[in-house]
Amino acid sequence: MGFPHPSHPGETVVLSKHFGDAGARTHAGWVERGGYEGLRKALGMTPEAIIEVVKASGLRGRGGAGFPTGLKWSFMPKDDGKPHYLVCNADESEPGTFKDREIMRWTPHALIEGCAIGAFAMGVERCYIYIRGEFTEPWAVMAEAVREAYAAGTLGDNAMGSGKPIHITLHRGAGAYICGEETALMNSIEGRRGNPRIKPPFPAAAGLFAMPTTINNVETLAAVPHILVRGAEWYKSLCKGNPKSTGTKLISVCGHVQRPGNYEVMLGTPMKELLYDMCGGMRPGRTLKAVIPGGSSVPIMTAEEAESALLDYEGLIEKGSMLGSAGMIVMDDSTDMVYQIMRLARFYAHESCAQCTQCREGTAWTTRILERILSGKGKESDFDLLLDLADNMTGTTICVLSDSCAAPVVSGIRKFRGEFEAYIRRERAPVLELA
């Protein structure tokens, strides 16, 4: 539901059912609300059967890439004699995204239950939940919930009396955006600098501590108990668009809508319905200008593209963008697109881990050019320069942070070129003063 707003009838409330319900935070409260039934059921199944159910549900990674979760789980090697790990990526740092924060704040046991099921299905020695450093309240809630789960015997060497060990350790980040990249996150847990690793090897072969590792997003794991309780067929039926995109998705909507917040919708829901019905549309007298639908790293959509798009993995690719983490940044006609793109570039320049040359230097240079344009010192040649830098920064680095900085520049120039030209041709007053 669009917490703190009441749930909208257009939503399909599964994960967010107990958002705002403080009673759901405790172990007892969670059990009262039907919690840990999924884990109990899972502990009575074979690991292979659990993975089959998750595969059949069509659940896909909710962190951004949309990789089929069951398939990912099945990549873990069997009986190789090594310790295996499950890592939950709770380093939700993508600008515009705030869904995992709410899951951990209100329903910590949903995440613990999902982690426990995954841990059992993949035979992992330990599950690490890597929580973003700035998430002080979710951290406190999660820490208490894990303590309770151990005290209740839900976790431990004899999880829920099954005789099977399930262990969860919380790990707190220190504030680097890049640690949300899965291999940088593993380096961070290991106590190293949070730099993304070269792939291959992929985590399933050599991940955390160089052991086979699966890494899943908070929302992905939180959906797993529901799938086990209510069945793969039920989950698959939660689909309004492309049958490859099943289930519900929490969409974090921020920016120029009347009611920003988290909305849980079936995949395939038209974006127009979300923006205008659930979020109440634009502020009075304003019209939609642009939407960044999947967190700051995905290409910007124009109003026309957004209003005709379906909210699922395929629907947004069709419109030239991506579902990503579904952190939706909505911008109305009061928005200065050049300024917004500069702010995004500045963010990436600040957060670049500095490993790869193109990213370290390119993000900062791109930012400086955009700042110069905003200060009234732009040149016509800046278009070619920005696009050429973006080309050099795309597909050439270890991770995609560099690409993420380039994407809004390219889509911004392509779709809102007039706004750049207004600054460059001095038709618009400068808004920045350069030092």
Partner 1 sequence: MTQELVTVTIEGAQVQVPKGTTIIEAAKQAGILVPHYCYHPSLPAPAVCRMCLVEVEKAPKLLPACVTAVAEGQVVHVSSERAKKARTGVLEFLLINHPLDCPICDQSGECELQDYTFQEGRAATRYRDYPKRYNPVEDFGPDILYVTNRCILCTRCVRFMDDVAKSAVLNVSERGDRAFIGIAEEQLLDHPWSGNVVDLCPVGSLISKDFLHKARAWELDKTASICTGCSQGCNITIETRDDAVVRLKPRPNMDVNRHFMCDTGRLDYRWMNRGDRIEAPLLRQGTKAVATDWDTALDRLGQLTGGSGRAVILASGRASVESLGLVRAMLDGFDVTAAVRVPTGPEAPLAGIPNLALRSERAPNVHGAERLGYTRDWAGALNAAGTADLVVVLDASLDAEEEQRLQEVKGALVVLGTVVADFHHRAELVLPVTTMAEENGVYVNRDGRAQRYMQARNQAGMARPSWWIAGEVLAGPGPDADAPATAAQAFEDVGRRYPAFADLSHQSLGWVGQTLRETAGTAR
Nearest distance in Å: CB 259, partner 1: 36
Nearer to partner 1, 209 or 287 (CB): 209
Nearest distance in Å: CB 383, partner 1: 13
Question: Interface with partner 1 includes 357 (CB under 8 A)?
Answer: yes
Q: How many Å apart are CA 338 and CA 333, to the nearest integer?
A: 13
Question: Interface with partner 1 includes 377 (CB under 8 A)?
Answer: yes
Nearest distance in Å: CB 9, partner 1: 44
Question: Interface with partner 1 includes 422 (CB under 8 A)?
Answer: no
Q: How many Å apart are CA 343 and CA 354, to the nearest integer?
A: 19
Of 45, 44, 46, 27, the closest CA to residue 35 belongs to 27
Q: How many Å apart are CA 330 and CA 314, to the nearest integer?
A: 20
Question: Interface with partner 1 includes 152 (CB under 8 A)?
Answer: no
Q: Looking at 55, 240, 360, 428, which residue binds partner 1 (CB under 8 A)? A: 360
- Contact region with partner 1 (CB under 8 A), list: 25-33, 72-80, 81-89, 391-399: 391-399
Of 337, 363, 368, the closest CA to residue 350 belongs to 363
Nearer to partner 1, 176 or 329 (CB): 176
Question: Interface with partner 1 includes 396 (CB under 8 A)?
Answer: yes
Q: Which residue type does 182 have? A: E
Question: Interface with partner 1 includes 193 (CB under 8 A)?
Answer: yes
**Rg of the chain (C-alpha set):** 22
Question: Interface with partner 1 includes 129 (CB under 8 A)?
Answer: no
Are 338 and 374 within 8 A, CB to CB?
yes
Nearer to partner 1, 7 or 355 (CB): 355
Are 76 and 262 within 8 A, CB to CB?
no
How many other CB atoms are there within 10 angstroms of residue 243's CB atom? 12
Of 252, 257, 89, 268, the closest CA to residue 185 belongs to 89
- Contact region with partner 1 (CB under 8 A), list: 65-73, 266-274, 281-289, 385-393: 385-393
Q: Report the SS3 class of residue 170.
A: strand
Question: Interface with partner 1 includes 167 (CB under 8 A)?
Answer: no
Write out the residues near partner 1 by the rule CB under 8 A: 176, 178, 193, 198, 349-358, 360-365, 368, 372, 377, 385, 389, 391-392, 395-398
